[in-house]
Amino acid sequence: MEPITTSFKDLPFFFSLFLFVYLLGYLYLFRTWTPSSRPLASSCLISLLHGVSAVYLAATALLSDPDRGFSSPNTKSQNSVLDFSSAYFLADLLHLAVFPSPAGGDELFAAHHAAVLFVFLTCRYLVSHGACALLALLIVAEATSACQNSWTLADARGPDAPLAARLRRFVTLPFYASYSVCRCVLAPVLIVKMTWFYVSGGADGVIPRWVWVSWTVVIVVAVTVSILWIRNLWVLFFEEKRNSRIAKKIQ
């Protein structure tokens, strides 16, 4: 098993990386976009970087640990992934603070990021156990990052950009379907297994009860909000399909 580390060096390095990528997007890649869409596009860029990288890094960290389990000690690579993800959420919190969305709703995102940071940082720096459970959930959560951020970027670009409009139509169904499987099926299964393990005393002596209870609450609330969000998107999707068919019949 890899040695456990309590070094703080990775977190500021990864934060600097996400900040650099954000500024690269804002000042260069999306400089011709509208003032309202540039911050959102830059946020999507670091979200895409985080999501795709986190899936690979977390999977590698889990597979390299022969003693992995819901209460096993964190390895060095697992701690690095926790730092990587924590740095992303810190960077996106900074984005929300500097560029509040005109449409509102930032409070929900900020609360989500802060809660996830609490989970990751307590696992990383307080108890140093349980990363396997969190990284497994991270993989499920970020598996749809490429589709989701492509969909969000295309939507932010606006219907006046033909390529963006085509991209949005192309990725909508795969994104909705994959997100539904991950958030409505896989995530609840993992949560039930993790919670049952903790309730049965599997983490006694290594993860304090108040810690795993708080983790469970945060994760359940986050997944529930995700399920409600994708449900609303499906409702809108089928309403648009129905209205489109009605419009064609009228013509």
Token representation of residue 143:
């598996």
Three-point CA angle 207, 210, 214, nearest 5°: 100
* Total number of residues shown for the chain: 251
Q: Which residue has the tokens 């108890």?
A: 127
Query: Rounded to two decimals, what is the model's pTM?
Result: 0.92
pLDDT of residue 143: 96
User: Do the Cβ atoms of 110 and 96 come closer than 8 Å?
Assistant: yes
What distance in Å separates the CA atoms of residue 42 and residue 22, rounded to the nearest whole number?
5
**How does residue 248 score in pLDDT terms, banded at 50, 70 and 90?**
low
pLDDT of residue 164: 84
**With 70 as the cut, is the pLDDT of residue 137 above it?**
yes
Token representation of residue 117:
């940071």
The sign one gets for the Cα dihedral 159, 162, 166, 168 is negative
User: Do the Cβ atoms of 233 and 176 come closer than 8 Å?
Assistant: yes
**With 80 as the cut, is the pLDDT of residue 208 above it?**
yes
Across the chain, what does the average pLDDT equal? Answer: 91
pLDDT tens, residue by residue, 48-76: 999 999 999 999 999 999 999 999 999 99
What distance in Å separates the CA atoms of residue 21 and residue 236, rounded to the nearest whole number?
33
What distance in Å separates the CA atoms of residue 204 and residue 129, rounded to the nearest whole number?
11
Q: What is the mean pLDDT of residues 120-147?
A: 96
Helix (H/G/I), strand (E/B), else coil: 129: strand
